[in-house]
Chains A and B, each alone.
Chain A
Amino acid sequence: MARTVAETIQAITRRHLLENRGLLFGQCVSAVGWIGGTVPEMTEEQGIVELSMADVAGAGIAVGAALVGRRPIYVIRYQGFMWYNAAPLLNYAAKSKEIWGVPCPLLVRSLAMEGGIGPVASASHHGMVTRMPGMSVIAPMTPGEWTQAWEWFMSHDDPLYVSEHRRSFSIDYEMESVLNPRADITLLAIGASRLNALEAMKLLAAERITCDLIHLLWLKPFEVTEVILESLKKTGLGLVIDSDFEIAGTSRSIAYELMHAASVPVYALGLEDRTAGFAPHLDNPTPPPAKIVRQVKTLITSELKKVP
């Protein structure tokens, strides 16, 4: 049976702690469920370091351990906590090599989730990381992608921000890009929005709208690949979908880059510019399939009108 993302992370972490003198830092690691089953049930002596609830200090402690070569994994239970944790991660770990030539290899596992969990715990926040120099950012959703993130981390001496989503933990398959010869639009999806985009494609197909879907894994550095360019030039229209906020976020930034590279209109669809509430009707989730469908239909209609 194939391994899930959670099992993959757990196995890699176990090996890192046992074989590499690695460390794993986090809050409430060993409490409920060992972070969704992603953390091996090991002891402090074996490298599981339970931090206090002091978020900023905790991140700094992990950075200090990275500076002395322990290649720590630092778990942030909710990506919204990055607003605390960002200071040592983005202001020290990300800059250390550039300022002093001193590497600070640290893997940040930042977990997103959603669904009636309010203004802080919901949403991805990788956009705040991509705008600062010195930190690479990846958003894996499959076992193979998480393994790729890990292999990159272990073969470089830089910090890496892994924008995880709890919806990925049970996934035990890989996701290939979907390319159709007569696609009407190119969807480029990030993180959990990839799952919603797949659902949206099925709904759109029923209305005879065909999509290309390209999964975006590396957010920084972001590479404009031939596959992306060919698809965009073929469809003449793109939409970047993200589980982070849209305004000044990763989706708009990538859309801007692609628009210039492909010379076709590329739009963005991310979280709305409002605070999520706990009540279901006040949530601000990853754009759901129905919303993606509406947006695609609107774009196709409006772009068709522009054709002379």
Chain B
Amino acid sequence: MEARSATLGLLPGLSRQFPVAKTIEMFRKTCINHYFELEAARVYDTGIMKIPIYLSEGSEQVPAAISTISSHFLIFAQHRCHSYYLSFGGDMRKLIDELLHRETGCARGMGGSASIHDPSIGMYGHSGLMGDQVPLAVGAALGSAKPVLAVMGDASAEEDYVFGALAYAATKKLPVLVVCEDNDLSILTHVATRRSWGIDEVARSLNLPSIDIADDPWLIAHYVGSFLGKLPALINIRTCRHRWHAGTGKDGEPEWNRLELMKEELRNLGLESEAGEIETQARQTVHRIWQEQLQKPFKQ
């Protein structure tokens, strides 16, 4: 396995080859995801949410990048998937309501933060068994012949049935893109303590197109685009979890801050002022929607 770094697999000049409109879209989605999670954390800390919360701060750009390339996936994610829900067009108000235990939530309060879904965007809920979304995704691809996105973490990648599902997808050449958000942590246990292999290596051994890369959104978008015609495929993406596994706490600074790196790249591209406006607008929009939803009565 390669060592973790913010530059793993980076392809020089990639952002300049990327259409500006797509870059803007990707950044807008990233900002929406980011400020949604900041608001969620702020509200969570008031104590009104009585559920565990799984925040995606640090990896908000991953679904932003994937959805910018293709929004036509059926989606099977797991916990820490607020940003997938939002990036693929899920209703933010319904997500807020879900976190506030409401009947009007996207899973009527049954899903909490971990098991959200939205049939209107083809997103299925997660049961709570880590990694079980991968065989489900493979079955959905077999049954529907539509492209399916399966998202897991580096811990789920170790579940034995994930291998069985990847192997079956490879055998039957099913249109599944498996994304492993590899934050190097199973709660607090590092990957190196748990295994000596990479899930990208496992995928390659099954003859799946596969790559192990940093969480740079242009890089992610590049590989999503190039793998789309070669599914099944797997992308292992090294991300940084800014907060605890569950909850809003932090254990110091993350190894790198992709949002700040993204803004730096936008400056290099001459898009600093557009980026500033997008970020301000995203922050204000998300705050306003949270405030409006908070005004409504909620169940303790």
A interface list, Cβ under 8 A from B: 23, 49, 51-52, 54, 56-70, 72, 87-88, 91-92, 95-96, 98-102
Contact = CB atoms under 8 A, between A and B. Distances in A.
Nearest to B159: A56
Contacts of A23: 143
A66 B124 CA distance: 12
Interface residues of B, number: 36
B164 A64 contact: no
Interface string B206-242: 0000000000000000000000000000000000000
Contact of A60 (B125, B138, B144): B138
11 contacts: A54-B167, A56-B160, A57-B135, A57-B162, A60-B139, A65-B139, A66-B139, A67-B140, A70-B143, A99-B125, A100-B124
Given A67-B140, A68-B143, A91 B127 contact: yes
Given A63-B136, A64-B141, A57 B110 contact: no
A-B interface, 9 closest residue pairs, ranked by CB to CB distance from nearest: A64-B139, A60-B135, A54-B164, A57-B164, A65-B143, A61-B139, A56-B161, A64-B136, A64-B140
Nearest to A52: B168
B143 A87 contact: no
B253 to A, nearest CB: 37
Contact of A64 (B110, B117, B143): B143
Given A57-B135, A64-B135, A67-B136, A99 B110 contact: yes
A7 to B, nearest CB: 27
B108 interface: yes
A101 to B, nearest CB: 7
Contacts of A66: 139, 143
A100 B125 contact: yes
Nearest to B146: A68
B129 to A, nearest CB: 5
Given A68-B146, A92-B132, 15 more contacts: A54-B161, A56-B135, A56-B161, A56-B164, A57-B162, A60-B135, A64-B137, A66-B143, A67-B124, A68-B143, A69-B144, A87-B132, A100-B110, A102-B119, A102-B125
A58 B129 CA distance: 15
B15 interface: no
A94 to B, nearest CB: 10
A69 B139 CA distance: 11
A68 B144 contact: yes
B142 A61 contact: yes
Contact of A61 (B107, B110, B124, B138): B138
Contacts of A49: 142
Interface string B117-128: 101000011011
B180 interface: no
Contact of A52 (B110, B132, B167): B167
Interface string B141-175: 11110100000000000001111110110010000
A102 B124 contact: yes
B90 interface: no
Nearest to A71: B143
Interface string B86-117: 00000000000000000000011011000101
Contacts of B66: none
A135 to B, nearest CB: 14
B74 interface: yes
A88 B136 contact: yes
Contacts of B135: 56-61, 63-64, 88
